[in-house]
Structure formats: structure tokens, C-alpha cells
Amino acid sequence: MRLFLAVQLSNEMKKAIISAQNKLKQNKVNGRYTDIQNLHLTLAFIGEYGNTDNVLEAMEQVHFESFQLKLGGHIGSFGDLLWAGLEQSDELEKLARQLRHSLAEYHIPFDKKKFNPHITLLRNAVIPTYADISSINIDKVSMKVSEVSLMRSEHGKHGMIYTEIGSIISDKGED
């Protein structure tokens, strides 16, 4: 099964992302938009791996305190993938580094690309030449990160389906 570690987004943050997607649609930007229920922040992409217990055990070795995550207000791209940027966060960088280190210690394969925190808005973007997406601002909504989820990704009839398998909670819980 295809697995990844992620931060689930708050409803307020999802609303800001959907608003940005709507602005892109108003600018006639086409592509495969990420459904609201699939919006997340990937911390580590594991890919095909069958031992979820092993992944959960590796995750449990990581201890972190809850912190604030804030949208950066801008849209970026990796080729034809458009994403919402986040404000720089030392706590987020540290959490991703710790999770990846623990996965490596448990010999769990994962994508070793440099961590570049973003939330995918759409894939296969086709941007009309007249569209100025650089002028589209995303509300700088923030949320508290107090949980990391192990997610399974499956192809469904109408696109990808993401299912939480388990999670870890920050050392201070959800206060």
C-alpha cells in the first residue's frame, strides 16, 4: 500500500486553500484540483510499503511539542503542479527531520528529496497565457499542529482516497 506521513489541515486552513483554488478557476486555470478532503501537508512520502505497524512504531519514537503553522500567502509551482506555500517554521522542519530520521532507523524506505513544505492545489495545471497567478493571494491562516498522521493513498473511482491509519500526538497533546 502507498503510505505517507502528513499533517491534517484545520477546516479554516482548508477554506483558505479552497478560496485560492476558486481564484485559480476564475482565472481559467485547468487541471486536477485537490479535493477538500485530501488537502494535507506531507512530511514524508513512503510509497509502497506493507508494514504499517513498523511505520507506527517509528513514528512513536518522535516527540514534539505542538506549534503554529501558517500559510505563506503565495502560490508556487513544481512544473505543472501548483501549491500553496507556508511561512518558514523551524518547528516544522525539525519535525520532518525527526520523522525521516526515525523512518531511516527502522529501515523504512521513503522519498529522500529535500523537504519543501507545501500544500498541493492542483496537478497537471494548464495556465492561460493571460492569467497572472502571481497576483493571487492566499489568506495567511494559521493552525496548531499537534498531531502527525500515517496515511494510506488508494486510487478510487473518482480520484485518490486518503485514509488515516494511525497518528502520534505532540507531547503536550491538544491543549
Q: In sequence order, which residues have a C-beta less than 8 Å from that of residue 170 and are 6 or more positions away?
A: 64, 65, 66, 145, 146, 147
Q: How many residues does the chain have?
A: 175
137-165 confidence digits (pLDDT tens): 999 999 999 999 999 998 877 778 899 99
50-96 confidence digits (pLDDT tens): 999 999 999 999 999 999 999 998 999 999 999 999 999 999 999 99
Q: Pull the grid cell for residue 69.
A: 503553522
Q: Pull the grid cell for residue 145.
A: 499542529
Answer whether residue 123 is part of any domain. Answer: yes
The alpha carbon of 76 is separated from its chain's Cα centroid by a whole number of angstroms, namely 14
- Strand spans (E) along the chain: 2-8, 30-33, 40-48, 67-78, 81-86, 118-126, 142-145, 147-156, 159-169
Could you tell me what percent of the chain has a pLDDT over 90?
Answer: 86
Segment among 3-7, 28-32, 130-134 with least mean pLDDT: 130-134
Average pLDDT over every residue of 4-23: 97
Segment among 1-5, 48-52, 108-112, 129-133 with least mean pLDDT: 129-133
Answer whether residue 85 is part of any domain. Answer: yes
Residue for grid cell 479552497: 18
Angle between helices 90-105 and 52-60 (to 10 degrees): 130
Number of domains making up the chain:
1
Nearest Cα to 8, choosing from 168, 175, 124, 154?
A: 168
Mean pLDDT of the chain: 94
Could you tell me what percent of the chain has a pLDDT over 70?
Answer: 98
At 173 the pLDDT is 52
Q: Pull the grid cell for residue 6.
A: 502528513
Answer whether residue 155 is part of any domain. Answer: yes
Confidence of residue 3 (pLDDT cuts 50, 70, 90): very high
Answer whether residue 52 is part of any domain. Answer: yes
- CATH code for the domain of 51: 3.90.1140.10
Answer whether residue 16 is part of any domain. Answer: yes
DSSP 36: G
Confidence of residue 45 (pLDDT cuts 50, 70, 90): very high
Answer whether residue 13 is part of any domain. Answer: yes
Do 12 and 70 contact (CB within 8 A), yes or no? no
**pTM, entire model:** 0.92
Q: Which 3 state secondary structure label does DSSP give 114?
A: coil
Q: Pull the grid cell for residue 43.
A: 512530511
Residue 174: is its pLDDT beyond 70? no
Host domain of residue 29: 2-169
Do 104 and 152 contact (CB within 8 A), yes or no? no
At 159 the pLDDT is 77
Answer whether residue 174 is part of any domain. Answer: no
Confidence of residue 175 (pLDDT cuts 50, 70, 90): very low
Answer whether residue 175 is part of any domain. Answer: no
